[in-house]
Structure 1
Amino acid sequence: MPTLNLIQHHPAEGPGAIADWAESRGVTLNVFRADLGQLPPVSAAPVIVLGGPYESNAGPAWLEAERQWLAASLGQGAAVFAICLGAQLLALSLGGKVRRMDRTETGWTTVTFSDGQALKVLEWHEDAINLPTDAQLLASSDQCEQQMYHVGPTRLGLQFHPEWDAESVAMLNEHFAEESPLPQGQQDSAAHAAVFEWLQATLDQWWAASSSVR
């Protein structure tokens, strides 16, 4: 059974719907808690990097260790699927920059892809990415232009959270309580289903492209 490393940064932000995709594809997720000092060895192994409530340019000491690990793994040719904080770390490693937005982008947001398709997704971020020079922009929202980008077929960054399913939202709401800007109570099941369909197709494409470095 193939394995896939996943970097988690916070106890309330786990793989969510990514775990459902992995199980349905026969992929074993190896979860590493970077905030607890856990990182896989530097290698070309494909990796998913999740989000978290930290500043990508600074943050705790363990985040600096992760920045160094990610840069070294990219140097080995690793394929990376990166979400929110992860997408910011990926951009920094590839020569981009991260800046503070005028206002936080939260809750259900519509992103529009370069092919004209639109998708309602969940957001919670106050930073935005200035893309690396060799990156291609793939999706934008009204408030944040850099919602999704790629650098080649195996390095993909998403500012939004397609992995947040209804259970993820409930866990985040419980952990962050009144700080959470995410939807409370009954969730939009149709919106979650549409995002999961998109996530499965996108992960399938990335996972196939990463086969050259597995």
Structure 2
Amino acid sequence: MSTLPPQFGDAFIPTARSGKIAVVLHQESSSAGRVGQWLVRKGYKLDIRRPPLGDSLPDDLSRYAGAVVFGGPMSANDDHDYIHREIDWCASCMTQQVPFLGICLGAQMLVRALGGKVRAHPDDHTEIGYYPLEATDEGSALLPDWPSMIYQWHREGFDVPKGGKLLATSEVFREQAYSIGPSTFGVQFHTELTEAMMRRWLVRGRDRLTLPNAQQRRAHMEGRLMYDGPILDWLGRFLTVWLASDQRGLAQLSGLKSA
């Protein structure tokens, strides 16, 4: 019997082919949260790697259905060997055309891989808690009905790389979601958090709640009660679109037809 929450029931199972998903996490205690639950429920296997703990990253992604790089307390600008390796690996994901999703730090690493900038807010503001989100015309064309409020936990933002499409914006850090080509996506916000993960972040990261523009613990918990339904709905629809964006089979078929 499945132990996954009812939100991840059969109605959410897409027709995308099953396979492995490369999952990059940045702490020993980190998990793939609701993204991982959703993928496992559909039959995908998670190949979890933790580069800060010495794990290598897969070189050949041809057998992977996708790659997800999650967030972490470090910065994409940090001068660590594993940060540089991950940035290069993000670029390799694009070269190999595997569907790629960067979340917060992961989105920022891809920006750096493509020559874009990752930086703090000019007034040192953060987004830690629930903040308004607005889809652009490109975002609405990709996926209708984005949540109006979204959960954030970051003190740096990014510029959308050259050639990318801005999919969603917010008031403090304008660039919130982008796509590059048909199957590469980056989001600044966190839809993957389970309630247990949120509570853990609020305890372990309680010093961050004193930063400029950060919301206090009560606002986080009240916000989850008010806003999490549309966020969870969006996550399932977005992941379906993301996995269906894989163009590799079409490229191979096109090559066969032209041969």
**Which of 2-11 and 40-49 deviates more?**
40-49
Question: Given the alignment of the two structures, is residue 201 of structure 1 paired with residue 201 of structure 2, yes or no?
Answer: no
Q: Which runs of 5+ in 2 are unaligned?
A: 1-17, 251-259
Q: 2:170–2:176: 8 Å Cα contact kept in structure 1?
A: yes
The aligned counterpart of 1:167 is 196
TM-score under structure 1 length normalisation: 0.89
Higher strand fraction (1 or 2): 1
Matched with 2:77 is 57
Could you say which residue in structure 1 is the equivalent of 2:130? 108
Post-superposition offset of 1:75: 2.3
**Structure 2: distance between partners of 1:42 and 1:173:** 35
Please report how far the alpha carbon of residue 10 of structure 1 lies from its aligned counterpart in structure 2 after TM superposition: 2.0
Matched, 1:15 2:48: no
Q: Bigger shift: 106-115 or 140-149?
A: 106-115
SS of the residue 2:217 aligns to: coil
Please, what TM-score do these two structures have when normalized by structure 2?
A: 0.75
Matches within 5 A, 1:13-162: 13-44=30-61, 45=64, 46-101=66-121, 102=123, 103-114=125-136, 115=140, 117-162=146-191
How many angstroms apart in 2 are the aligned matches of 1:213 and 1:86?
25
Contact 1:35 1:62 in 2 (8 A): yes
The 1:132–1:168 alpha-carbon spacing in structure 2 relative to 1, beyond 3 Å, is same
Matched position secondary structure for 1:161: coil
Q: Secondary structure at the match of 2:22?
A: strand
Q: What residue identity is the alignment partner of 1:194?
A: P
The count of aligned residue pairs is 214
Which consecutive aligned stretches of 4+ in structure 1 deviate over 3 angstroms post-superposition?
115-118, 177-187
Structure 2 residue identity aligned to 1:208? A
In the other structure, the counterpart of 2:246 is 210
Q: 2:217 aligned to 179, 184, 187, which one?
A: 184
Give 2:57's aligned amino acid: P
Q: Between Structure 1 and Structure 2, whose CA radius of gyration is higher?
A: 2
Write the distance in 1 (CA, Å) between the matches of 2:51 and 2:126: 25
- Contact 2:103 2:186 survives alignment (8 Å): yes
Counterparts in 2 of 1:179 and 1:213: CA distance versus 1, 3 Å? farther
Cα gap change, 1:168 to 1:39, in 2 (>3 Å): same
What stretches of structure 1 of length at least 5 have no aligned partner? none
Partner of 1:200: helix, strand, or coil? helix
What percentage of residue pairs aligned between the two structures are identical? 26
Counterpart residue type for residue 133 of structure 2:
V
Pick which of 113-122 and 77-86 moved more: 113-122
Looking at structure 2, the residues matched to 213 and 184 of structure 1 have their Cα atoms a distance apart, in angstroms, of 46
C-alpha displacement at 1:182, in angstroms? 6.6
- How far apart, CA to CA, are the structure 1 residues paired with 2:100 and 2:85? 17
